[in-house]
Copies of this chain bind each other. A is one copy, B any other.
Amino acid sequence: MTPYEKLMARVQETQLLAGASSILAWDQEVKMPKGGLPYRGKQLALLAQLAHERSVATEYQDLLAECEQDPALTGDPASPQASNLRELRRSLDRLTKLPGSLVAEEAALASEGQAVWAEARKADDFSKFAPVLERVVSLLRRKAECFGWAEGGEIWDALADDYEPGCTAREVENIFTPLRERLSGLIREIAEAPRRPSDRFQRIKLPVDKQRSFVEELVGAIGFDFKRGRLDVSTHPFCSGNHPGDVRLTTRFHEDNLSDAIGSTMHEAGHGLYEQGLPFEHQGTPRGSAVSLGIHESQSRMWENQVGRSASFWRWCLPRLKEHFGGEVAALSFDDVYGGVNRVEPSLIRVEADEATYNLHIMIRFELERRMLSGDLAVRDLPAAWKAEYKDALGLDVPDDARGCLQDIHWSMTAMGYFPTYTLGNLYCAQFYEKADEDLGGLDAAFERGEFDGLLTWLREHVHEPGSSRPAAELCVHVTGKPLSADPLMRHLEGKLRPLYGI
């Protein structure tokens, strides 16, 4: 074996442990009886420790350094070899720059933070959470100092790199600023619009088992391969990608919200299609892995929004819906369903937000975490700042912190630099979709016939198969010819919502 082959074998072997952890974590959420919880925590901690030991072992570091010396491997930056070496170096640097004591401190704080946050949210008492959040900010500052950031950058960048490699606050700001302005304008127009879609679709009660069989068919119809995956139920929907041959989606059902079940399932199926489309021959190496959370989210939003909220999709889906459920569903009009899934309504809770206002929730969090990290916003002033932002961006009065700055788990888990990946996902998604639609000469006619393989094949070729061959921002330029911009998403939202609201 060459040194590079040895390196890949080691990396793939270590990845087996991550894959095992991913199945155990899935099992914990989906199948495990309660009694298994304490033991499962120990199993996952041990597997994480073993994977970490292998990821920083001297033998591994030497092998990586040896390969980096070989110009035949690094010459072409888009080659599998070069992208593997680049990504492995990035991960190793991040692992070795952090002292073990800080890693342990963060793990303990994340665990404590989640427990304290859950109590504080339940009690609607920010003062309970504030001391922990202060420690989170202080720890993340020290963590960022270990990593460092590029000249002209800022502390936020060092943390975001874990979720969206190479992404900087400045870049995010440059896209978010025009996006916020145009989105706010659109949302104002909608608020004053002459008509509103009905919510009849959302008010119908349907048995959960019938909902389940319907979304299973739907997920199969858009191309999810059940021989290489599953769909189960969990409290919070997620997609667990252990291997392109074994991708596990979860979703949730409420009797009175089929629309949510469809949206959540299409969303997770989008993540799953990405995982199933990653190149099998590079499995277990960076080249064969998802490139960033933003790109991952672009694939979930693709099927949830660009497909699942399109008029052409609903022209195909509605007759199937009527046949499957009958009863009240049979009486729904096209406007009831298409309009219903596209209703826009400023609201307090991010995870319940519609496609348009969702991004404002994200921008608020991005600004607030950025200011907390830079020291510009004190933790104790977070609730007031949150309320001011919601008033300004969405015109809403936040009545309490439980429905305000205590609503999300992320910061309590020490995850700052994460939120923007959701909106980056929406932006990448819209930009990819425009290009696919152009390349394929319009997708609507195919969707109306229930044909989704054209889009999927395009995504396989341009987004899934490339894995981590290029950083996310470069992938976007490579695929669409342009850097990421707010324009495609705004064209998508305006083009759909203005006619719907009679604007």
Contacts and interface: CB of A to CB of B under 8 A. Distances in A.
Interface of A: 13, 16-17, 19-20, 23-24, 27, 31-40, 42-43, 46-47, 50, 225-230, 242-246, 283
The list of the 6 closest CB pairs from A to B, nearest first, reads A36-B246, A35-B245, A35-B228, A39-B243, A16-B46, A16-B43
A9 to B, nearest CB: 11
B31 A43 contact: no
Contacts of A37: 245
Contacts of A31: 31, 230
Contact of A228 (B19, B33, B227): B33
B242 A34 contact: no
A294 B227 CA distance: 38
A242 to B, nearest CB: 7
Given A16-B42, A36-B246, A40-B246, 7 more contacts: A23-B27, A31-B31, A33-B227, A33-B246, A35-B228, A35-B246, A39-B243
Contacts of A230: 31, 33
Given A242-B39, A243-B39, A47 B32 contact: no
Majority-rule SS of A interface residues: helix
Contacts of A20: 20, 24, 43, 47
Residue with the greatest number of chain B CB neighbours at <10 A, chosen from A13, A36, A243:
A36
A112 to B, nearest CB: 23
B229 A33 contact: yes
A418 to B, nearest CB: 28
A353 B260 CA distance: 51
A38 B245 CA distance: 9
Contact of A19 (B33, B43, B246): B43
Contact of A33 (B27, B42, B43, B226): B226
A245 B33 contact: yes
Contact of A23 (B13, B24, B245, B283): B24
Contacts of A226: 33
A39 B19 contact: yes
A425 B36 CA distance: 28
Contacts of A227: 33-35
13 contacts: A13-B46, A19-B43, A20-B43, A23-B27, A31-B230, A32-B246, A33-B226, A34-B227, A34-B228, A35-B225, A35-B229, A36-B228, A38-B245
A4 B144 CA distance: 42
Nearest to A226: B33
B39 A245 contact: yes
A23 B32 CA distance: 10
A446 to B, nearest CB: 27
Contacts of A242: 36, 39
